[in-house]
Structure 1
Amino acid sequence: MSGSEKFVLLGKVVGVHGVRGELKLESYTEPRTQIFRYMPWRMRSAAGETVVEGGRGRAQGKGIVAELPGVTDRDAAAALVGTEIWVARSALPKAAPGEYYWADLEGLEVVTVEGRALGRVSHLIATGSNDVLVVRDAERERLIPFLPGRFVTAVDLDGGLITVDWDPEF
């Protein structure tokens, strides 16, 4: 993705629906149909990246069915299976106090409450019970539960720093 603007992965195409070019989507938004509020989409696959405006869709069962401009038959839809849906971070609403977008946490430096550097947030993992920070430095990778008030004592997005109450040897 070009430029310095940050993009956030919001979903992907997981299948086709019917013969008129409708797509089955997996959405990472809550509620899942919220994905249609954030346009334009940057559709990214091994074939490259395209910008899509004007997609619409509906919930169906446990998934979403979408219609995209220019995708009018099953073959065109099938060609998009596996494509990721990205949007500009700036298109998303401001997070509520104490809530964070994963994209805003990735790349932040992590230090202990004693000031010992542990590395940077590589990415996060959803475990079902809580999210986990994957923190890497030159020597190792640490998995730190993202539990504010318990292990995460402060998040300073402007300063690029997360402070944790964590044993550096763990």
Structure 2
Amino acid sequence: MSGPEKFVLLGKVVGVHGVRGELKLESYTEPRTQIFRYSPWWMRSAAGERMIDGCRGRAQGKGIVAELPGVDDRDAAMALLGAEIWVARSALPKAKPGEYYWCDLEGLEVVTVEGTSLGKVSHLVATGANDVLVVKDAERERLIPFLVGQFVTEVDLEIGRITVDWDVDF
């Protein structure tokens, strides 16, 4: 997972299922089984990272269960507990107009409608009501609700800038 390619976190291993090496996953995709449409997976854990291609799975109760090539017993599955599942950003479909992948917003410069720089997007936080941009500069951190049309007036991925209607003192 090195080089200029961006990667996106799509889920993680949260348990094992049965004795044949099946894994219980938490998926961040919508719907949750959409995670199986992306390949290859980069499994990242404390033990390191490895690429796995050809993962299959199904919905099971409130979660999902996955079968990974080369993981064919409970011990192999246990070794992956807590592992994160990443895929290359290029493996994801193009975002619909007005929708954005968080990874595409991270690192963008944030300026006010008056042209004052507020810093760069460090990361985003899901609050339930709406997503929030965490914008940092050398002096401070600002939390700006990502509400297009209300606080966010423009997102320009080409030039790497988000324009916001936001008071510099807030």
Instruction: Between 57-66 and 95-104, report the one with greater CA deviation.
Output: 57-66
Correspondence for 2:21: 21
Identical pairs, percent:
84
In the alignment, the residues of structure 2 paired with residue 46 and residue 113 of structure 1 have an alpha-carbon distance, to the nearest angstrom, of 43
Correspondence for 1:82: 82
Secondary structure of the residue that 1:115 maps to in structure 2? coil
The alignment status of 1:131 with 2:122, answered yes or no, reads: no
- Number of equivalenced pairs: 170
In the alignment, the residues of structure 1 paired with residue 142 and residue 80 of structure 2 have an alpha-carbon distance, to the nearest angstrom, of 36
1:46-74: CA deviations, max 9, x gaps? 11110000000001111110000011111
Q: CA RMSD in A?
A: 0.6
In the alignment, the residues of structure 1 paired with residue 18 and residue 119 of structure 2 have an alpha-carbon distance, to the nearest angstrom, of 48
In the alignment, the residues of structure 2 paired with residue 130 and residue 18 of structure 1 have an alpha-carbon distance, to the nearest angstrom, of 38
1:96-144: CA deviations, max 9, x gaps? 0000000000000000001110000000001111100000111111110
Correspondence for 2:121: 121
In the alignment, the residues of structure 2 paired with residue 46 and residue 152 of structure 1 have an alpha-carbon distance, to the nearest angstrom, of 38
Secondary structure of the residue that 2:10 maps to in structure 1? strand
In the alignment, the residues of structure 2 paired with residue 14 and residue 167 of structure 1 have an alpha-carbon distance, to the nearest angstrom, of 42
Q: CA deviation at 1:75?
A: 1.1
TM-score with structure 1 length normalisation? 0.98
In the alignment, the residues of structure 2 paired with residue 141 and residue 150 of structure 1 have an alpha-carbon distance, to the nearest angstrom, of 20
Correspondence for 2:60: 60
Secondary structure of the residue that 1:95 maps to in structure 2? coil
TM-score with structure 2 length normalisation? 0.98
In the alignment, the residues of structure 1 paired with residue 154 and residue 109 of structure 2 have an alpha-carbon distance, to the nearest angstrom, of 12
In the alignment, the residues of structure 2 paired with residue 94 and residue 140 of structure 1 have an alpha-carbon distance, to the nearest angstrom, of 33
Q: CA deviation at 1:168?
A: 1.1
